[in-house]
Amino acid sequence: MSQQSLFDAESAPWEADDQRELLVASLVFPTGPDKSFDYSVPGELRDQIEVGRRVRAPFGKGDRPVIGYCVRLASRNDLQRRLKEIAAVIDRRSLLSGRMMDLTEWMAERYLCTRGQALEAVLPAVVRGRESTRQIMLLSVPRHIATGLDKLNLPDKQAAILKHLAAQARPLTSKQLCAAQQCTLAPINALRKKNLITVEMRSVEGETAESMPQREPPLALNPAQQQAYQTILTPLHDRRHETVLIHGVTGSGKTEVYMQAIDEVIRFGRQAIVLVPEISLTPQTRERFRCRFDHVAVLHSHLRDAERHWHWDRIARGDVQVVVGARSAIFAPTPHLGLIILDEEHETTFKQDSAPRYHAREVALWRATRENIPLVLGSATPSLETWHRAAQGEYKIVDMPQRVSNRPLPDVGVIDLRDEFRDRQSRGAVSRQLHQAMEQALKDRGQVILLLNRRGYSTHIQCPACGLVLRCPYCELSLTHHVEGERAICHYCEYETAAPAKCPDCGGGGIRYSGVGTQRLESEVRARFPQARVLRMDTDTMQKPGSHARALDSFRRGEIDVLLGTQMIAKGLDFPNVLLVGVVNADTALHFPDFRAAERTFQLVTQVAGRTGRGERGGRVLVQTFSPDHPAIRAAVRHDYAAFARQELPVRELLHYPPYAAMARLIIRGEAIEPTKQFAEHLAGLVKEQLLKRQPAVGPENRVLGPAPAPIPRLRGMYRFHMQAQSADSETLRAAIREATADLQSPDGLQWTVDIDPIDML
Ligand code: ADP
Ligand code: ZN
């Protein structure tokens, strides 16, 4: 048998002698019920169909044409019934590799979402869409060819063209190349046929104006960095999976370690994915990667559709070495993944808060395990989940307790707001001590960062005569006063109304606006320091794309003296001239009805403290709090993560909270309170029954708490009840919920959602 016929036989095994054999495609319809449906593939579509392509197929009684994903192909000759036929194959190639297909299956199981939801999470909407943008062709010379040009034996014209193209810093269009070399397309096409020129299709929109940054060489690693680097390289070279936790204080040089590890991955022709919490908020990180690698795809939320599509195509073709992005970048279709890095792995933005409610850290672990590659988790304040696993020996841990160049961590001082209030030392949000420290820092020509995690002017609007608190009619949460346009705004649903001059209830004129938000803090700082140049940074002032990066640039250039804002300013910034960081109120998150409240507070204070002391002159942190003795605040003040973990973990263990047990949260929403409550009770009963069936002992490790009104009892006009299911074992918990809800019919107007290992407890 010749090679040719062998190949043919292999590529189409279903075209066997047996004519009754049918090719059956299992389809998942994202908009349909959560299961797959079998269809037969007509002969003319056999060479187009493939797992991971989308098809159009008749669905339901009326045979509506619906788009579905082909998730499985099998040839069968044992069919009992006639199958409907697929009408058309939409995609010209598979959008999802087999591995990514498996991932969606795992996600559906792990997060109790539908397979369709998982598929649509993995594929960006723009790739699923059929947007058409004008495409231009960009030509470049692959690096391995550019380095060996003189070894090639080419006609003169072609050699000249290749040499010219290889010398360019950026790819050229064929038009540009023809013009430069005074040639026709013929020699260029000849070079393309010989694979000496690579062609990239770029949508015209996708061609960004971003200039190529100045290249930066790697730094010589210090011993701690060297150790972290080796710990990543060992599994990398052994081609096995390992999770490495880099517990490094802010400024310890983690990013440099990541970049050098990525260098190694690239040397083997593989790709790396770097996840950062909020890429649009960390332009510095983005630039650092762009300065180090040739082919970086930065996926951020301000990308236009065409750009996003373009990046996705490049990544899928293997033209990208490093993907840097937020949560969803974990689904980047890299063909030969070599390394995944999650920086600031403790950040809550890695968890998606709508279905599928996946956590990028877990998806990363899944991918890294399947690909036999290392996963690196980096943080100064690791999540207790990760810390616990590392302590159990599941992860390797590397400590980087010191900043590079032996720069000290900043001194952190605590200001007890109770004293301030008792002595009436100051009015407003800035205590006397903080005021003096700001004065000193500004006098020393340093910069100041002030953190207040509440936006708006006043966070509380109340009539002192009748006690009425102005609340959102849809959420029942108190409205925040915003000075611009004199508005009262709900921070959960964006409902807004005019800030009233008189009480809407009793007509009293003395409405009191209290509670300090960032706007009010800004006015206070401007009044206290009229000479200082002040900039407020929160979602209200940073709405325009690029405004955040511009603000940071101007802060870096020293055009701003005081930067104040919400947690947005606590992240990933590295400014050597910041001499003082003030935490205006460390308690904003401390009393939330959330078992992670202490952890959040510890993280926020530690992270913002890390924004100072980056330069030669050191830096100082002042934390204002009503709870100076709270363990989370005491540990943060001492930069003592281990102490925090030691004190917090036993509490979690006692209450059987994560990381010691699995948890799920179910939320039930409805427009009327009674039926919502009843349905919640019904659902709780079902879940309890299933849990007990699997594990008869009731205790904190096996129980359903609630239902009860959620901490936000009404949101966007819907009443909300929630319950919390706990089990020692995640598998058991999910099985119980799956079983309990399998045949569950929600009454009209009622919705329920399930969140596995929830982060948001409100
Ligand atoms: P982290 O990611 O842990 O916050 P970075 O990698 O951002 O730390 O490093 C902090 C600063 O120290 C950066 O300005 C970086 O350029 C610098 N740096 C990192 N490693 C070294 C090194 N080995 N030698 C000198 N400077 C370094
Ligand atoms: Zn509201």
Tens digit of each residue's pLDDT (9 = 90 or more) over 578-624: 999 999 998 887 877 788 989 999 998 888 888 777 667 778 999 99
Question: How confident is the model over 541-561, as a mean pLDDT?
Answer: 86
Among the listed ranges 176-190, 223-237, 413-427, 620-634, which one has the minimum average pLDDT value? 413-427
Among the listed ranges 56-65, 300-309, 702-711, which one has the minimum average pLDDT value? 300-309
**What distance in Å separates the CA atoms of residue 158 and residue 184, rounded to the nearest whole number?**
11
Amino acid 664: pLDDT: 95
Amino acid 281: pLDDT: 65
Ligand showing the shortest atom-to-Cα distance for residue 259:
1
Amino acid 541: pLDDT: 82
Amino acid 323: pLDDT: 95
Residues above pLDDT 90, as percent of the chain: 49
Over the chain, what is the mean pLDDT?
87
- If we measure between CA atoms, which residue out of 68, 64, 35 comes closest to residue 51? 68
> Between these two residues, 612 and 686, which has the higher pLDDT value?
686
Amino acid 45: pLDDT: 92
Between the CA of residue 537 and those of 260, 347, 437, 698, what are the distances in Å? 33, 20, 21, 49
**What distance in Å separates the CA atoms of residue 263 and residue 277, rounded to the nearest whole number?**
22
Amino acid 208: pLDDT: 47
Amino acid 423: pLDDT: 67
Tens digit of each residue's pLDDT (9 = 90 or more) over 230-282: 999 999 999 999 999 999 988 899 999 999 999 999 999 999 999 998 766 66
**Do the beta carbons of residue 430 and residue 564 sit within 8 Å?**
no
In this prediction, residue 11 has a pLDDT band, given cuts at 50, 70 and 90, of very low
pTM (2 decimals)?
Answer: 0.83
Question: How confident is the model over 10-35, as a mean pLDDT?
Answer: 70
Q: Which atom of ligand 1 is nearest to the CA of 256?
A: 6
- The per-residue DSSP string of 213-280 comes to PPP-PPPPPPHHHHHHHHHHHHHHHHT--EEEEEEE-TTSSHHHHHHHHHHHHHHTT-EEEEE-S-GG
Amino acid 688: pLDDT: 92
Between the CA of residue 25 and those of 44, 45, 54, 139, what are the distances in Å? 14, 11, 11, 39
- Sign of the dihedral through C-alpha 736, 742, 748, 752: positive
**What distance in Å separates the CA atoms of residue 568 and residue 565, rounded to the nearest whole number?**
7
Sequence-distant (6+) residues with CB within 8 A of 319 are 198, 200, 295
93: which DSSP letter?
S
Amino acid 405: pLDDT: 81
Which amino acid does the sequence have at 535?
L
CA 517 from centroid of its chain's CA atoms: 26
Sequence-distant (6+) residues with CB within 8 A of 35 are 28
Burial status of residue 214 (CB atoms within 10 A of its CB: 0-12, 13-18, 19 or more): exposed
- If we measure between CA atoms, which residue out of 532, 480, 573, 46 comes closest to residue 282? 573
Tens digit of each residue's pLDDT (9 = 90 or more) over 406-433: 888 888 999 998 887 676 655 788 999 9
Answer whether 567 contacts ligand 1 (Cβ < 6 A): no
251 C-alpha vs ligand 1 centroid, how far in Å? 6
Which among 221, 249, 255, 256 is the best mutation to test ligand 1's pocket, defined by most ligand atoms within 8 Å of the CB? 256
Residue minimizing CA distance to atom 19 of ligand 1? 253
711 C-alpha vs ligand 2 centroid, how far in Å? 14
Amino acid 409: pLDDT: 81
**What distance in Å separates the CA atoms of residue 240 and residue 251, rounded to the nearest whole number?**
29
492 C-alpha vs ligand 2 centroid, how far in Å? 5
Question: How confident is the model over 152-163, as a mean pLDDT?
Answer: 88
Which among 221, 227, 376, 404 is the best mutation to test ligand 1's pocket, defined by most ligand atoms within 8 Å of the CB? 404
Question: How confident is the model over 628-644, as a mean pLDDT?
Answer: 92
Between the CA of residue 719 and those of 475, 706, 712, 752, 757, what are the distances in Å? 8, 15, 9, 12, 23
Query: Most distant CA pair in the chain: distance in Å?
Result: 97
| 757 pLDDT higher than 50 | yes
In this prediction, residue 671 has a pLDDT band, given cuts at 50, 70 and 90, of very high
**DSSP H helical ranges for 354-474:** 360-371, 384-391, 417-423, 432-443
| 722 pLDDT higher than 50 | yes
Element (H, E) at 396: strand 396-400
Between the CA of residue 755 and those of 209, 345, 353, 543, 728, what are the distances in Å? 41, 20, 9, 29, 17
Q: Which atom of ligand 1 is nearest to the CA of 221?
A: 23
**What distance in Å separates the CA atoms of residue 459 and residue 563, rounded to the nearest whole number?**
21
Give 376's Cβ-side CA count (13 Å radius): 32
In this prediction, residue 110 has a pLDDT band, given cuts at 50, 70 and 90, of very high
- If we measure between CA atoms, which residue out of 751, 647, 745, 665 comes closest to residue 705? 665
Amino acid 205: pLDDT: 45
The tokens for 97 are 């590799």
Answer whether 221 contacts ligand 1 (Cβ < 6 A): yes
215 C-alpha vs ligand 1 centroid, how far in Å? 16
The 54-59 sheet, strands edge to edge: 36-40, 22-28, 64-76, 54-59, 88-89
CA 426 from centroid of its chain's CA atoms: 40
User: Residue 424: which region, alpha, beta or left (left: phi > 0; alpha: psi -120 to 50)?
Assistant: left
Question: How confident is the model over 309-334, as a mean pLDDT?
Answer: 93
Sequence-distant (6+) residues with CB within 8 A of 386 are 245, 345, 346, 361, 377, 379, 395
Between the CA of residue 132 and those of 129, 299, 495, 501, 508, what are the distances in Å? 9, 20, 37, 52, 59
| 203 pLDDT higher than 80 | no
**What distance in Å separates the CA atoms of residue 395 and residue 392, rounded to the nearest whole number?**
8
CA 536 from centroid of its chain's CA atoms: 24
In this prediction, residue 643 has a pLDDT band, given cuts at 50, 70 and 90, of very high
Question: How confident is the model over 336-361, as a mean pLDDT?
Answer: 95
Ligand showing the shortest atom-to-Cα distance for residue 287:
1
- Residues 187, 190, 194: CA angle, nearest 5 degrees: 140
**What distance in Å separates the CA atoms of residue 379 and residue 390, rounded to the nearest whole number?**
13
Answer whether 104 contacts ligand 1 (Cβ < 6 A): no
Ligand showing the shortest atom-to-Cα distance for residue 492:
2
Question: How confident is the model over 81-89, as a mean pLDDT?
Answer: 89
Spell out where 60-124 has E strands: 64-76, 88-89
Which amino acid does the sequence have at 669?
R
Amino acid 510: pLDDT: 81
526 C-alpha vs ligand 2 centroid, how far in Å? 31
Q: Is the bond preceding residue 707 a cis peptide, omega within 30 degrees?
A: yes
Question: How confident is the model over 546-555, as a mean pLDDT?
Answer: 84
Between the CA of residue 550 and those of 32, 285, 546, what are the distances in Å? 45, 15, 6
In this prediction, residue 212 has a pLDDT band, given cuts at 50, 70 and 90, of low
Answer whether 253 contacts ligand 1 (Cβ < 6 A): yes
Contacts 24+ apart (CB under 8 A), 142-148: 142/196, 142/198, 143/294, 145/196
Give 225's Cβ-side CA count (13 Å radius): 19
| 371 pLDDT higher than 90 | yes
Between the CA of residue 390 and those of 124, 386, 453, 568, what are the distances in Å? 33, 6, 31, 29
- If we measure between CA atoms, which residue out of 269, 274, 298, 299 comes closest to residue 364? 274
**DSSP H helical ranges for 279-404:** 283-292, 305-317, 360-371, 384-391
Residue minimizing CA distance to atom 9 of ligand 1? 253
Amino acid 457: pLDDT: 83
Amino acid 213: pLDDT: 67
Amino acid 480: pLDDT: 87
The tokens for 684 are 């709780």
- If we measure between CA atoms, which residue out of 23, 117, 144 comes closest to residue 79? 23
**Do the beta carbons of residue 121 and residue 356 sit within 8 Å?**
yes
